[in-house]
Amino acid sequence: MNQSDLIAKCAEKTGLTKTKMKEVLETIGDVVLAAVKSKQTVTIPVIGRFTHKVAQARSCRNPRTGAIMKVPAKAKMAFSASSFVKESLQKK
Protein backbone atom coordinates (compact mmCIF):
# COMPACT_ATOMS: atom_id res chain seq x y z
CA MET A 1 0.00 0.00 0.00
CA ASN A 2 1.46 3.33 -1.00
CA GLN A 3 0.74 6.79 0.44
CA SER A 4 -2.15 7.61 -1.90
CA ASP A 5 -3.80 4.23 -1.17
CA LEU A 6 -3.46 4.84 2.57
CA ILE A 7 -4.91 8.34 2.27
CA ALA A 8 -7.83 7.12 0.15
CA LYS A 9 -8.64 4.23 2.54
CA CYS A 10 -8.45 6.45 5.65
CA ALA A 11 -10.50 9.20 4.00
CA GLU A 12 -13.17 6.67 3.07
CA LYS A 13 -13.36 5.30 6.62
CA THR A 14 -13.39 8.70 8.36
CA GLY A 15 -15.49 10.68 5.90
CA LEU A 16 -12.78 13.29 5.46
CA THR A 17 -11.65 14.50 2.07
CA LYS A 18 -8.40 13.08 0.69
CA THR A 19 -6.78 16.51 0.98
CA LYS A 20 -7.74 16.84 4.64
CA MET A 21 -6.67 13.25 5.37
CA LYS A 22 -3.27 13.92 3.79
CA GLU A 23 -2.87 16.97 6.05
CA VAL A 24 -3.79 14.87 9.10
CA LEU A 25 -1.27 12.13 8.26
CA GLU A 26 1.48 14.65 7.54
CA THR A 27 0.75 16.41 10.83
CA ILE A 28 0.92 13.13 12.73
CA GLY A 29 4.26 12.38 11.08
CA ASP A 30 5.60 15.84 11.94
CA VAL A 31 4.50 15.54 15.58
CA VAL A 32 5.98 12.04 15.97
CA LEU A 33 9.28 13.11 14.39
CA ALA A 34 9.54 16.22 16.57
CA ALA A 35 8.85 14.20 19.72
CA VAL A 36 11.36 11.48 18.86
CA LYS A 37 13.98 14.11 17.98
CA SER A 38 13.53 15.51 21.49
CA LYS A 39 14.05 11.96 22.83
CA GLN A 40 10.44 11.37 23.83
CA THR A 41 8.63 8.09 23.30
CA VAL A 42 5.45 8.26 21.23
CA THR A 43 2.85 5.54 21.67
CA ILE A 44 0.05 5.20 19.15
CA PRO A 45 -2.60 2.86 20.55
CA VAL A 46 -3.17 -0.31 18.53
CA ILE A 47 -0.12 0.41 16.29
CA GLY A 48 2.97 0.63 18.48
CA ARG A 49 5.67 2.80 19.98
CA PHE A 50 8.29 5.07 18.38
CA THR A 51 11.46 5.72 20.36
CA HIS A 52 14.78 7.52 19.95
CA LYS A 53 17.83 5.25 19.70
CA VAL A 54 21.51 5.91 19.20
CA ALA A 55 23.66 3.62 17.08
CA GLN A 56 27.06 3.59 18.76
CA ALA A 57 30.23 4.60 16.93
CA ARG A 58 32.09 1.61 15.51
CA SER A 59 34.90 0.57 13.24
CA CYS A 60 34.40 -1.28 9.97
CA ARG A 61 36.48 -2.40 7.04
CA ASN A 62 36.13 -0.99 3.54
CA PRO A 63 35.58 -4.11 1.40
CA ARG A 64 37.23 -2.54 -1.65
CA THR A 65 40.46 -1.30 -0.06
CA GLY A 66 40.57 -3.25 3.20
CA ALA A 67 41.16 -0.02 5.12
CA ILE A 68 39.62 0.32 8.56
CA MET A 69 37.10 3.17 8.77
CA LYS A 70 35.36 4.76 11.71
CA VAL A 71 31.58 5.04 11.53
CA PRO A 72 30.30 7.83 13.80
CA ALA A 73 27.39 7.39 16.21
CA LYS A 74 24.06 8.39 14.75
CA ALA A 75 20.48 8.89 15.93
CA LYS A 76 17.76 6.50 14.79
CA MET A 77 14.04 6.13 15.19
CA ALA A 78 13.01 2.70 16.44
CA PHE A 79 9.54 1.19 16.18
CA SER A 80 8.10 -1.49 18.41
CA ALA A 81 4.79 -3.04 17.37
CA SER A 82 2.03 -3.28 19.95
CA SER A 83 0.92 -6.63 21.36
CA PHE A 84 -2.34 -6.24 19.41
CA VAL A 85 -0.41 -6.02 16.13
CA LYS A 86 1.82 -8.95 17.03
CA GLU A 87 -1.16 -11.13 17.96
CA SER A 88 -3.15 -10.08 14.90
CA LEU A 89 -0.30 -11.05 12.59
CA GLN A 90 -0.18 -14.54 14.11
CA LYS A 91 -3.88 -15.25 13.56
CA LYS A 92 -4.76 -17.08 10.36
Read off the pLDDT of residues 40-50 as tens digits, 9 standing for 90 and up: 999 999 999 99
The pLDDT tens digits for 26-81 are 999 999 999 999 999 999 999 999 999 999 999 999 999 999 999 999 999 999 99
10 Å CB burial of residue 7 (0-12, 13-18, 19+) is buried
Query: CA 9 to CA 6: how far, in whole Å?
Result: 5
Q: State the maximum Cα–Cα separation within the chain, in Å, rounded to a whole number.
A: 58
